[in-house]
Every structure is written in C-alpha cells, then in structure tokens.
Structure 1
Amino acid sequence: MARNSKSTEQNGESTPKAPRKCGIVMPISACDSCTEQHWSEVKAIISDAVESVGFTANLVSDADDVGIIQKRIIQNLYDNPIVVCDVSAKNPNVMFELGMRLAFDKPTIIVKDDETTYSFDTSPIEHLEYPRDLRFAKIVEFKKNLGAKIAATVKQSETDPNYITFLKHFGKFAVANLETTEVSKEDFIIEELRELRRAIGRRDSIAEREYQRMMERDMLERKSLAGANSSRKRKLSALIENRVMEALSAHHPKDNAVAIAELDVEVVRKIMNDPELRSLVDNPAEVEEMVHKTIRAFVG
C-alpha cells in the first residue's frame, strides 16, 4: 500500500499545469442580419483556435460561480492573460468591453468578418479577418493564423521587454488597476447578497415606473375613447332628431300606438340605410332606443 501511495514528485513526475484562460469578447445574440446560431458557430471557431495553442477559451461573461455578471466581465477582462475580441457588426457591448481591455493595456487580439468596416479608434491595431459566410477553406486558414497570433502575442508580452501595447503607441499613461481584497467566504456571500438585493431593488423601481406610465397611458386612452364616444352620441342624436322631425311632418301619428310603432320602424330603417348615420352606430338596439325616446318626446 505504501509503495502505491507515493506522490508524483517521488516518481519524478510533475503535476501538469492547468491551461490558462483566453477571454473571448464577441456578439452572442442576433444582430446585423446574423442569427444567434451564426455567432455560436463563430465562437466554436475561435475556441478551436484558442485551444489549439494550449489555452482554455471562455467568454469574459462566463464564470464557475454565481455572481453579478458586470463585475465578472470586468474582472475577467483584467485577469485573462490574452483576450480575443470579435468586433464584427460593431456590437456596442463588444466595443465597450474592448475599450476596457485596451485601457487595462493588456494583450488583445482583434478579429472581424469581411463585411464589417474598421472603426476609426481601433483601426491602427491589426485585425485578423474571416469570411462572414464561414467558408470552410478560409476558416481553416483563419484558425491557423489566430492560433499562431495568440501564442506569439502571449510569448512576446511575457518575454520581450520592448513589447509595445496599444496605449504605449500614443505616449505614457497610468494604466487602470483593479484592487483585490481578501475576504472571508461569509463576507463574500453577504456582499453578493447585498449587491443582488440592490439589483433587484433597481429592477423593481424600473418596473414600478413602467407600470405607472402604462396606467397613465391607459387612462389617457380611456378618456380619449370616452370623449370620442360622447361626441359620436351627440352627433347621432342630432341626426336622429332630424329624421324623426321629417317623419312626423309627413305622418302626424299623434297618440295612435300602432302608428307610432310603425314610425319607429320606418325611422330606424332609414337610419340603418343611411351610410352617414350607420357609420355612427355601434349597436342597432341603441338606435332603436334613441328613436323611440325621440318620437315619444315629440308626440307626447
């Protein structure tokens, strides 16, 4: 048993190092006529190139633990020894994260598809290009070039004292640093819960404001509809009154119930056959009632 429990060091073997991470910044949802599936395929292509030179590929938004995604993105942008950024379609989030990485003045490789134009601020940096239609032969060449670029960039940044980053082309700058503080597991969990509560509170506040705006819009629409309905009824009432007056002047039914009923039917029929009046009618029963009341008001 003792012989089988010897450590790898005693056997002259060393524990292999875990591969270092290469951060990926890229679009992940549909944009610029490219579907979510398209970006998933692009991610797989970049990951293949990254892993071919011994790195582990991960989106900067990915992490093993649960936490606030914005904090995770910034931490990964700062910590990853190399980052590949796909600026295809010029996604705003991607451009913002690229700006942060360049502000940290750390090794960055920019790629783009052949349908995306260069941005003025980052055009001095070399861009590796791939076909948007992901043609096989071109993609094979792109993966080879990207893998070689990753390996060369990391090696140069770590071994060459004359390695020049993006910012150093323009002068001397005080590069931003992220302060890290050691905290206990309990303090970390409490702080994450507080941050989560603040985030939920902000969302609740936004939801409450949106609900208030929705209620205000609903109230305005109700008032508008009520006003339009009132105006419609006034116009319909005036036109019915005119039709009743015309019918009374021709028939004079007085108190004869049968004659009044016949007049009711005649006026309603004329109204329903009149395009102008019919456009004001929501409910035929409403017209019958209005005609009936108007005739009774005049006949007595």
Structure 2
Amino acid sequence: MAKTTKPTKPKLCFVVGPIGDEESEDRTHADWLLEEIIEPVFQETFRDFRVERADKISDPGRIDAQVITALLNAELVVADLTTLNPNALYEIGIRHTVQKPIIHMHLEGQKIPFDIASFRSIRFSRRRPRDIRDAREALKRVCRCSPRRRL
C-alpha cells in the first residue's frame, strides 16, 4: 500500500519594520527591503519558508492580533530597525521576549539604540546595485548560521 504524505506547511519568515502609507518614503524603503533583498533570498535559498509582512496579510481579522500571533509563532523574524519606527521596536521587543530567532537589519548610516545595539545587525544600502547583492549575501549567511539551525 502506498504511503501518503501530508504536504508540509511552509515555515514563516515574518518581516517587521517601518511600512508607512502607500506613497511614503517608509513604504518605498520597506518595499525595497522586502522585494529586492528578503524575498529573493528566501525564494532562492530557503524555499521551505514563506515571507510575510503585516500589510500583506490577507486574512480577515484584527491586524494587531495577527501581527502578535506571527511574532510569537514564526520560525524566523527579520526586523528592519531603519527609522527606529515605534511599532517595529514594540514588535521586536515581543520577539525578544519569546527568545526565538530574529535577524536585525538597518539602512547604513542609521544609529541603533543602546538596548538593541548589542545584537548583531545587517547593515545595508540601496545606493548601488552591488549594495543589494551584498545585502542578500549577508542575509543568506546569517540565515545559515541561525542559532536554531532549522533554516
């Protein structure tokens, strides 16, 4: 008798950071980071993950409850510290509390607050095309060295 295997549900990589209004500088930044750095890395190297950001959640319900659930349950969180957005810092605090894997990133030139500065952070730039490639490579390296080694 043939053994049936249940399809595995993809792991979640939840992305936290400044999102802003549709045409804002924050949204442009957030989309660059998501679409040109994070998503390509996971599509190419970590295909067993789905990448999600709060504004891309299509399920009905309360956004804040969905975000907190994702922060508590995601196998990995990638957090953008750029602009020191209060919502992002709150969400990072939740993730730190549950002590699950989190990768910090920030735009080059940004000063990181003392309480978070002790965590390693991937510094990235969008000035030149190679900056995006360098950021992708840095993210791949950090994911491969995840403390839980489940990536």
Q: Please give the TM-score of this superposition, normalised by the length of structure 1.
A: 0.44
CA-atom RMSD in angstroms: 2.3
Aligned to 1:28: 19
Instruction: Confirm whether residue 59 of structure 1 aligns to residue 50 of structure 2.
Output: no
Aligned to 2:115: 121
| Counterpart pick for 2:100 among 106, 114, 119 | 106
CA contact under 8 A between 1:62 and 1:72: conserved in structure 2? no
How far does residue 35 in structure 1 lie from its aligned partner after superposition?
4.9
Aligned to 1:138: 131
How far apart, in 2, do the equivalents of 1:37 and 1:61 lie? Answer: 13
SS in 2 for 1:56: strand
If each structure's helix is expressed as a fraction of its own residues, which one has the higher value?
1
Name the amino acid aligned to 2:41: A
CA contact under 8 A between 2:126 and 2:132: conserved in structure 1? no
Aligned to 1:75: 69
Instruction: Confirm whether residue 47 of structure 1 aligns to residue 39 of structure 2.
Output: yes
Name the amino acid aligned to 1:99: G
CA contact under 8 A between 2:12 and 2:74: conserved in structure 1? yes
Count of matched residue positions in the alignment of Structure 1 and Structure 2: 145
How far does residue 76 in structure 1 lie from its aligned partner after superposition?
0.6
Whose relative contact order is higher, 1 or 2, with alpha carbons under 8 Å and at least 6 apart?
A: 2
Identity score, percent: 23
Change (3 A) 1:123 1:100: same
CA contact under 8 A between 1:61 and 1:73: conserved in structure 2? no
How far does residue 61 in structure 1 lie from its aligned partner after superposition?
5.5
How far apart, in 2, do the equivalents of 1:43 and 1:95 lie? Answer: 18
SS in 2 for 1:125: coil
Q: Which runs of 4+ in 1 moved over 2 A?
A: 14-19, 33-39, 60-65
Flag structure 2 segments of 5+ consecutive residues without an equivalent. none
How far does residue 125 in structure 1 lie from its aligned partner after superposition?
0.3
How far apart, in 2, do the equivalents of 1:151 and 1:58 lie? Answer: 19
| Counterpart pick for 1:37 among 25, 28, 36 | 28
Flag structure 1 segments of 5+ consecutive residues without an equivalent. 1-5, 160-300
Q: Say which one has the larger Rg.
A: 1
CA contact under 8 A between 2:18 and 2:26: conserved in structure 1? no
Name the amino acid aligned to 1:120: F
How far apart, in 1, do the equivalents of 2:144 and 2:53 lie? Answer: 18
